[in-house]
Amino acid sequence: MASVLAADGATATVGNPAVNISIFGVFVLITLVITFRASRNNKSAADYYAAGRNISGTQNGLAIAGDYLSAASFLGIAGAIAVYGYDGFLYSIGFLVAWLVALLLVAELMRNTARYTMADVLAFRMRQGPVRTAAAISTLAVSLFYLLAQMAGAGGLVTLLLGVTGEAAQALVVVLVGALMIIYVLVGGMRGTTYVQIIKATLLIAGALVMTLWVLALYGFNLSSLLGDSVANAVEGRDVLAPGAQYGATGTSKLDFVSLGLALVFGTAGLPHVLMRFYTVPTAKDARRSVVWAIWLIGIFYLFSLVIGYGAGALVGPETVLGAPGAVNSAAPLLAFELGGTVLLGIIAGVAFATILAVVAGLTITASASFAHDVYASVIKKGQVSPNGEVRVARITAVVIGAVSIGLGILALQAGLNIAFLVALAFAVAASANLPTILYTLFWKRFTTQGALWSMYGGLIACIVLIIFSPVVSGAPVNPATGLSPSLFQDVDFHWFPLNNPGIVSIPLSFFLGWLGTILSKEKPDLDKNAELEVRSLTGIGAEKAVQH
């Protein structure tokens, strides 16, 4: 989400800044109170990293939904449906189907095996130092790109809705958002972050429900009438009820869609901040239950987004959506303004702001825990560090990561960087670097350290290199409507990779490199450790104990 503007057409205003800032302030105040109350129970590393492992499956399902449904999901998918119809909804399908991979292959086994982070699993039967370092680098790469997108999105959203202009004012907004994020993580830890995510998920789903019922009520709850108006208002020559409006015009775009689908489906089960949520529940059964709850909640939300998207297409119109700052990302706020004026706009904007705060808090605690637990405690200190010392390093790391993301967020906002590109990169990196290694570790007893390193580094490097030399960064054709290329850099062309998303190449390559590295490795697999990993992954015995060896 780069920016969002809800205009009334006549005055091109952003509603009432006083109403918007009041709603923002109420949410921030409530969540800060909850965060400070939650901090009273943070007495150990398990409390800080995993909320004491006493979050119920239902609560964790809500928190996962809060972590997963970022502002890009809320605003981007509704906008894609408003403009492209059927093809826009395919994003929802990809995001939802991805949870089946997490449910069937990852959730229970990861909960049983690890203690705090993804690297606990990957390094269990490997050489600790290199594998934990590689996992931490991958985690930081995914988290930083995600954080960068959310921070820049927060700056764009808030500066527009509060009516502030100028680079200094925008930078100040990003700094304030970053400061709030750091406070949530420093004070509340995973417990405070979890409660913020639960509140945010509840608000987001409730807000989407209100808009859905409102739109349907205007059409007498006749979905056919809604779809008919959406078709009537569509861009000339575009069938928003059939596939092919966005993907399918050329052979390359069809392949690009397959590549994007692979990244979405396989990336979700490799997102470190999603995986870390599985360690907050007391049992593997609760981990399964939390994913089932998340699937239901996310699925219902995406059904709401279908009505919101087609509602924006019918009541606002795709030309108005595309003409507003933020383009497709402006569809939901524009629809809110159309339905309920300034008040509903302020509420929906507040929900979007809540969404950003919850997601960045989850990302920050994941990245800081990965460095403190995997690099500092396990690699640098060789396990010879007190839990309090480890948590102290995690908090320092959270401040550093927050400061870096604030700086990069300001640059991204002022340079107008393509936020969707950054989010897609995070999914592609997770799918390429993390998931193949996780699956090999859990299910292939011959897998070795060399295979893990080749898979993680190979997938990470291939993914980033292919995106750098793709049309996303340079060389995309100029859009006749805007006169601009959608590429990151407008005036140069150094692309040679034809697809916008590298998943169709980098994901199979990572699986192949993991296999090849293992086959060529002279290291013999640790069969005893593999047997212990298999027992632990199926039963959970020993998950509470330290995993260093």
Closest to 243 in 3D by CA, of 94, 84, 364, 91 = 84
Rounded Cα distance between 11 and 29, Å, is 32
Residue 542 domain flag: no
Q: Contact, 38 vs 190, CB < 8 A?
A: no
Residue 210 domain flag: yes
Sign of the CA dihedral 454, 277, 417, 412? negative
Q: Structural domain tally of the chain? A: 1
Residue 172 domain flag: yes
Residue 475 domain flag: no
Residue 361 domain flag: yes
CATH number of the domain that residue 287 is part of = 1.20.1730.10
Residue 75 domain flag: yes
Quote the tokens at residue 44: 């150990």
Residue 312 domain flag: yes
Q: Any residues with CB less than 8 A from the CB of 212 and at least 6 apart, and which?
A: 304, 307, 308, 311
Residue 215 domain flag: yes
Question: Scanning the structure block, which residue is given the tokens 């929900």?
Answer: 351
CA dihedral 106, 107, 113, 114 (to 10 degrees): 110
Burial of 338 (0-12, 13-18, 19+ CB in 10 A): buried
Q: Contact, 186 vs 42, CB < 8 A?
A: no
Q: Any residues with CB less than 8 A from the CB of 260 and at least 6 apart, and which?
A: 94, 424, 500, 501, 503
Neighbours of 2 (CB within 10 A): 22
| CA distances from residue 77 to 63, 196, 336, 363, 378 in whole angstroms, order as listed | 20, 23, 15, 21, 40
Domain range holding 225?
A: 17-372+380-421
Q: Contact, 494 vs 475, CB < 8 A?
A: yes
pTM across the whole model: 0.82
Each of the 549 residues of the chain gets a pLDDT tens digit; together they read 333 343 343 334 446 777 777 877 888 888 888 888 877 777 777 777 777 677 888 898 998 888 888 766 777 788 888 888 888 888 788 888 888 888 788 877 887 886 778 888 888 888 888 999 999 999 988 888 888 777 776 766 666 666 666 677 778 878 887 888 788 788 877 888 888 888 888 988 998 999 999 999 999 999 899 998 888 888 877 888 888 777 765 556 778 888 888 888 898 888 888 888 888 888 878 888 888 898 899 999 999 999 999 999 889 888 887 776 556 777 888 898 888 888 888 888 778 777 777 788 888 888 888 888 888 888 888 777 777 788 888 888 888 988 888 887 777 666 555 565 667 778 888 999 999 999 999 888 889 999 999 999 999 999 999 988 988 777 777 766 555 566 777 778 888 998 888 999 999 999 999 999 999 988 887 778 878 888 877 776 765 554 443
Neighbours of 193 (CB within 10 A): 32
